[in-house]
């Protein structure tokens, strides 16, 4: 795309884009560190993740300010308008991703205080899948690659399925031994957080798609997540826990 007649406008749009990339990079490293904190039971690392969340919040505020300034000063049209609106929306999605990563880190500290349990090992696979989604969608943004964004969007269904199956795993552990209820609840919330991270990655994918094509990614979202419909199967009468 040719440059604007006003070179300052190009510089500002460029800065906006770089801020998103910086936030995206932070989101990736925050999520990766949070997962590591869970696996290695590293509470110090978890504390650092929680602390770094402020940095992302500050970046998002800076991004908002720049975007608002651009809207007011440049009265953007067409692709420029979509660039700025997409940056605003993507920025808030990334900020939410970092919040979820921080929450995973926070729960990892609580989890590290209980004896290690087997189902912890089910979490990293899902988390790495989500991490890859975040990485790919940020790459799609950098390259303004709508096809790549769409691929992430489609792939999120798999993450939803992973969450649904983890949900059943954790439920089973909890039913087997009530001592698992505490740690498994934390794991369950972590899995839910990671599943939500995937949803934010698809939001970003939708915005990248809109940014590039100017039309919304309209096809209905794939819905693999059926965990909200799962119930603990009632046991035969006379046994406990059948309420």
Partner 1 sequence: MVTAVLERPTHPTTVTVDIKQPKASLKNLEFFYGATRALKGITLDIEETAVTALIGPSGCGKTTLLRCFNRMHDLTPNIRYAGEINLYPDGINIISDEIDPIEIRMRIGMVFQKPNPFPKNIYDNVAYGLRVRGERNRGWINDKVEQALRDAALWEEVKDRLREPGTALSGGQQQRLCIARALATDPEMLLFDEPTSALDPIATASIEELIGQMNQNVTVVIVTHNMQQAARVSKHTAFMYLGEVIEYGVTDQIFTNPQTKRTADYITGRFG
Contacting positions for partner 1 (CB under 8 A): 1-6, 9, 75-82, 213-215
Select 34 or 67, whichever has its Cβ closest to partner 1. 67
In the complex, the smallest distance separating the C-beta of residue 211 from partner 1, rounded to whole angstroms, is 11
Tell me the two tokens of residue 17. 């884009």
Nearer to partner 1, 82 or 221 (CB): 82
Q: How far is the CB of 106 from partner 1 (least distance, A)?
A: 41
Burial class (CB in 10 A: 0-12, 13-18, 19+), 201: buried
Smallest distance, partner 1 to C-beta of residue 84, A: 11
Distance of alpha carbon 153 from its chain centroid, rounded? 12
Residue closer to partner 1 by CB (options 80, 161) is 80
Under 8 Å between Cβ of 171 and 100: no
Residue number with CB closer to partner 1 (4 or 55)? 4
Quote the least distance from Cβ 146 to partner 1, whole Å: 13
Nearest approach, Cβ of residue 10 and partner 1 (Å): 9
Quickly list DSSP for 56-80. HHHHHHHHHHHHHHHHHHH---HHH
Minimal distance, residue 4 CB to partner 1, in Å: 5
Q: Closer to partner 1 by CB, 6 or 39: give it.
A: 6
Contact 131, 31 (CB under 8 A): yes
Q: Is 104 within 8 Å of 35 (Cβ atoms)?
A: yes
- Residue 159 CB neighbour total at 10 angstroms: 24
Helices 123-143 and 78-112 meet at what angle, rounded to 10?
160
d(CA 80, CA 75): 9
Looking at beta carbons only, is 77 or 220 nearer to partner 1? 77
């Amino acid at each position: 795309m040719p440059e604007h007649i006003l070179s300052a406008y190009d510089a500002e749009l460029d800065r906006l884009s770089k801020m998103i990339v910086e936030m995206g990079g932070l989101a990736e490293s925050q999520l990766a560190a949070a997962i590591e904190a869970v696996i290695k039971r590293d509470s110090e690392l978890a504390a650092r993740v929680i602390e770094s969340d402020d940095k992302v919040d500050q970046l998002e505020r800076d991004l908002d300010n720049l975007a608002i300034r651009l809207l007011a000063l440049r009265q953007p049209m067409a692709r420029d308008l979509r660039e700025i609106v997409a940056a605003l929306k993507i920025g808030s999605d990334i900020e939410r991703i970092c919040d979820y990563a921080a929450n995973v880190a926070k729960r990892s500290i609580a989890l590290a205080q209980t004896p290690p349990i087997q189902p912890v090992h089910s979490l990293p696979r899902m988390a790495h899948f989500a991490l890859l989604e975040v990485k790919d969608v940020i790459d799609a943004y950098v390259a303004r690659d709508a096809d790549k964004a769409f691929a992430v969007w489609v792939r999120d269904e798999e993450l939803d399925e992973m969450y649904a199956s983890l949900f059943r795993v954790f439920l089973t552990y909890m039913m087997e031994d009530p001592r698992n209820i505490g740690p498994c609840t934390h794991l369950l919330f972590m899995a839910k957080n990671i599943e939500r991270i995937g949803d934010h990655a698809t939001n970003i994918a939708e915005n990248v798609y809109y940014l590039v094509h100017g039309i919304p990614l309209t096809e209905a979202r794939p819905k693999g997540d059926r965990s909200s419909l799962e119930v603990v199967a009632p046991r035969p009468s006379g046994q406990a826990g059948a309420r």
